[in-house]
Structure 1
Amino acid sequence: MKQSSQAEKILSQIAKNNTKLGDLRAIAKEVKKDHKLAMELWAAMHVHARHLAILIMDKKQLSEGVVDRLIQDMDENTASERLHLIDWLFANQLAKEKKTITMIENWQNSPSSLKRRTYYYYQTRLRWVGQVPPPNSEALLSTIEKEIQEEVPEVQWMMNFTAGQIGIFEEKYRQRCIELGERTGLYKDEMVAKNCTPSYLPQLITIQVEKEKNRKRK
């Protein structure tokens, strides 16, 4: 794809290694929505260009075919970059349109690990945004209990996070989620930075439940 002068100018701006996500958001705020430019930037493959492309995409043009191509293109990036890109795509675009939400609801058993990850990210988000927990927690938790240890790492982590949110916000499932963590031992030995919440379910749930209690007392 031949790049426009606007795309070339932006790419020269963001090519530096010290470019931050905040810098990309500032550019996106100036550009606003421009799907054609987004596709030009996406084609450049550079991770900063793809982050920016996601911010200025037109979510109404994100059919399942388009999303499939974006996911396929993510294989051109490193493993850590592709996870950040798929999560960024969900948070900034897919989560904001009824049509794409409907697509995500059918991704639980997708052959694509990034689609399965996004399905669980969506389920996690439903629980932390302060709404009444959706009615599928029992079925969802049963599936996680059965499949989490056999899942690939990028989906496994998000499944674990979903179980954590169920345990935090739904007391009737709390002990079950804690026992899931104890039984699998996932992330038990994970080293976490100071002031960061561990992923090991017994610790994650205990810490976050206490934070929720303190928040409600204020």
Structure 2
Amino acid sequence: MELSLRAKDIIAQINEGTTKLGDLRKVANDIKKDHELALELWSTGQFLPRQLAILIMDSKQLSQQLIDKLDCNIEQHDENERLKLADWLMANQLSKDKRTISLMETWEDSQSSLQRRIFWYYQARLRWVGQTPPPNSEELLFKIETRIGKEVPEVQWAMNFTAAQIGVYEEKYRSRCIALGERTGLYKDEIVAKNCTPSYLPKFIAIQVNKLNR
């Protein structure tokens, strides 16, 4: 795709070494919603222009077909960028519109690991944003218990995170979520930076519940 002068000017503002997420949001706020420009930025294949593109997309134009195309493009990035783009798309676009939320809810068994990750990460997000947990925790927890050991790492993390949020916000499932972490041993030996919460379920749940009870 031949880039417009506007797209080129915007890309020139973005510096891989110094641009932060807050800077991208300021640029996006100035642009507002511009789906055509978003697709131009996306076509560059570059990480920061794609992050900015996600912020200015029109969620009403995000069909399953287009999402599948974005998914394939995201797969071309390294692991760190790939997961950031997928999570960024979920948080800034897919979770903002009832129609795209309905799409996400069909991705539990998607052939795309990124779409399965988004399904589970969205379920977790429904809980940690502070609202009343949806009534599907029992069903989700059963599926996590039976499937998490067979999933690819990027989906495992999101399933584990969902179990963590269920354990934190729903006391009746807490011991079950802790037992899941003890059984799987996922992230037990993970080393995290200071002030970061480890992903190992027993530790995560204990730390977050303690924060809620302060």
Partner of 1:56: 56
Partner of 1:30: 30
CA distance in 2, matches of 1:204, 1:70: 32
- 1:78-120 superposed Cα distances (whole Å, 9 cap, x missing partner): 1110110010000000000000000011111111100000000
CA distance in 2, matches of 1:164, 1:190: 15
Partner of 1:203: 203
Partner of 1:7: 7
Partner of 1:188: 188
Partner of 1:78: 78
1:21 aligns with 2:35: no
CA distance in 2, matches of 1:169, 1:76: 36
Partner of 1:133: 133
Partner of 1:148: 148
- 1:25-71 superposed Cα distances (whole Å, 9 cap, x missing partner): 11101111100000000000110000000000011100111111100
Any conservation in 1 of the 2:34–2:57 contact (CA below 8 Å)? Answer: yes
CA distance in 2, matches of 1:3, 1:64: 25
Unpaired runs of at least 5, structure 2: none
- 1:191-217 superposed Cα distances (whole Å, 9 cap, x missing partner): 011111110000000110110111xxx
CA distance in 2, matches of 1:17, 1:115: 29
Alpha-carbon shift at residue 18 of structure 1 (Å): 1.8
CA distance in 1, matches of 2:181, 2:32: 43
Alignment of 1:107-126 (within 5 A): 107-126=107-126
Identity of aligned residues (%): 61
Structure 2 CA distance for partners of 1:149 and 1:60, relative to 1, 3 Å: same
Unpaired runs of at least 5, structure 1: none
Any conservation in 1 of the 2:16–2:48 contact (CA below 8 Å)? Answer: no
Partner of 2:100: 100
Partner of 2:158: 158
Alpha-carbon shift at residue 16 of structure 1 (Å): 3.4
TM-score, normalised with respect to structure 2: 0.98
CA RMSD of aligned residues (A): 0.8
CA distance in 2, matches of 1:114, 1:144: 17
Alpha-carbon shift at residue 77 of structure 1 (Å): 1.4
1:42 aligns with 2:42: yes
Structure 2 CA distance for partners of 1:16 and 1:139, relative to 1, 3 Å: closer
Partner of 1:66: 66
CA distance in 2, matches of 1:75, 1:160: 22
Q: Which amino acid aligns with 1:159?
A: M
Any conservation in 1 of the 2:90–2:118 contact (CA below 8 Å)? Answer: yes
CA distance in 2, matches of 1:33, 1:142: 40
Q: Which amino acid aligns with 1:12?
A: A
Bigger Cα displacement from structure 2, 73-82 vs 110-119: 73-82
Alpha-carbon shift at residue 17 of structure 1 (Å): 2.0
Moved over 4 A (4+): none
